[in-house]
């Protein structure tokens, strides 16, 4: 168990700075857009403010940046796999540890976004006690598809949707990292994040088919990532291309 946790810790240690950078940048951009674009003086409802600040697209940027943080190679020659292959923890085990770490990074991304919206609502309410009362804000949250999914923790269907959403993102990020480490382009795992972002920002209501497609593709991605790490020969793909 200690060895497995050690691998998880390693993944975290190698990438946590990037993850913090992404979270921090998203918080700053969201708050800046709230103060600058929100134009609260001429706004009657919190829903109008949300319409102006394009928070969904900033979240989309944060979401994509999180993929970069979790999967983009750390250096020009990322060959630490030579060390990972000499451990008693299998490379497949290492991929599962990576999966867990990725999930632990996407969860705060969603929580931070939900927290920011609630914070903005609180600030709006404080500034406009008549327009921004708690009841009105609650209605606003219900009106917005993405917000509804983000903050409706009491609705089990929405909670399950959000968990599946995070698992899709996690599987794709894991697949991306495995393929990037082999100097391959993970085309397949780019598709589900794009679908998820379109669901968030454009296809609010009729998303079931697209969401199902994202689930299927992400499962394929995860299986592919695990199959790639077969025993002690995961670097074969790179080495085949190198000079003898």
Q: Is 224 in the site for other proteins (CB under 8 A)?
A: no
Rounded distance between C-alpha atoms, residue 182 and residue 176, angstroms? 10
Residues in 80-139 that interact with other proteins by CB under 8 A:
80-83, 85-90
Q: Which is nearer to other proteins, 85 or 158 (CB)?
A: 85
Q: Which is nearer to other proteins, 122 or 233 (CB)?
A: 233
- Helix, strand, coil: what percent of the chain each, to 5? 75, 0, 25
Among 122, 143, 208, 233, binds other proteins (CB under 8 A): 233
- Closest distance of CB 163 from other proteins, Å: 29
Distances from the Cα of 157 to the Cα of 67, 148, 215, angstroms: 26, 11, 16
Rounded distance between C-alpha atoms, residue 46 and residue 138, angstroms? 10
Give the chain's count of helices (H) and strands (E).
11, 0
CA Rg, the chain, in Å? 20
Interface with other proteins: number of residues (CB under 8 A): 33
* 151 neighbors 117 (Cβ within 8 angstroms): yes
Residues in 45-84 that interact with other proteins by CB under 8 A:
74-75, 77-83
Interface mask (CB under 8 A) for other proteins, residues 14-33, using x and -? xx-x----------------
Q: Is 183 in the site for other proteins (CB under 8 A)?
A: no
- Closest distance of CB 234 from other proteins, Å: 8
CA neighbours within 13 Å on the CB side: how many for 101? Answer: 28
CA neighbours within 13 Å on the CB side: how many for 156? Answer: 0
Rounded distance between C-alpha atoms, residue 98 and residue 70, angstroms? 9
- Closest distance of CB 66 from other proteins, Å: 17
Q: Is 1 in the site for other proteins (CB under 8 A)?
A: no
Q: Which residues bind other proteins (CB under 8 A)?
A: 2-3, 6, 9-10, 13-15, 17, 74-75, 77-83, 85-90, 231-233, 235-236, 239-240, 243-244
């Amino acid at each position: 168990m200690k060895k497995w946790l050690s691998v998880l810790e390693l993944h975290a240690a190698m990438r946590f700075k990037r993850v913090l950078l992404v979270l921090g940048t998203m918080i700053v951009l969201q708050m800046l857009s709230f103060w600058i674009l929100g134009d609260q003086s001429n706004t009657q409802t919190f829903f109008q403010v949300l319409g102006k600040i394009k928070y969904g697209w900033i979240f989309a940027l944060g979401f994509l940046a999180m993929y970069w943080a979790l999967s983009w190679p750390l250096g020009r020659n990322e060959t630490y796999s030579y060390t990972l292959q000499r451990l008693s923890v299998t490379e497949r085990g290492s991929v599962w540890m990576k999966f867990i770490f990725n999930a632990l990074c996407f969860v705060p991304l969603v929580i931070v976004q939900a927290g920011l919206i609630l914070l903005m609502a609180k600030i709006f309410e404080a500034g406009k006690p008549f327009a921004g009362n708690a009841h009105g804000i609650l209605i606003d949250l219900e009106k917005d598809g993405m917000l509804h999914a983000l903050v409706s923790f009491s609705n089990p269907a929405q909670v399950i949707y959000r968990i599946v959403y995070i698992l899709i993102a996690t599987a794709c990020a894991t697949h991306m990292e495995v393929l990037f480490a082999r100097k391959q382009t993970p085309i397949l795992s780019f598709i589900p994040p794009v679908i998820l972002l379109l669901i968030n920002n454009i296809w609010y209501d009729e998303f079931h088919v697209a969401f199902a497609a994202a689930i299927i593709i992400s499962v394929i991605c995860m299986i592919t990532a695990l199959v790639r790490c077969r025993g002690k020969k995961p670097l074969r793909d790179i080495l085949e291309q190198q000079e003898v």
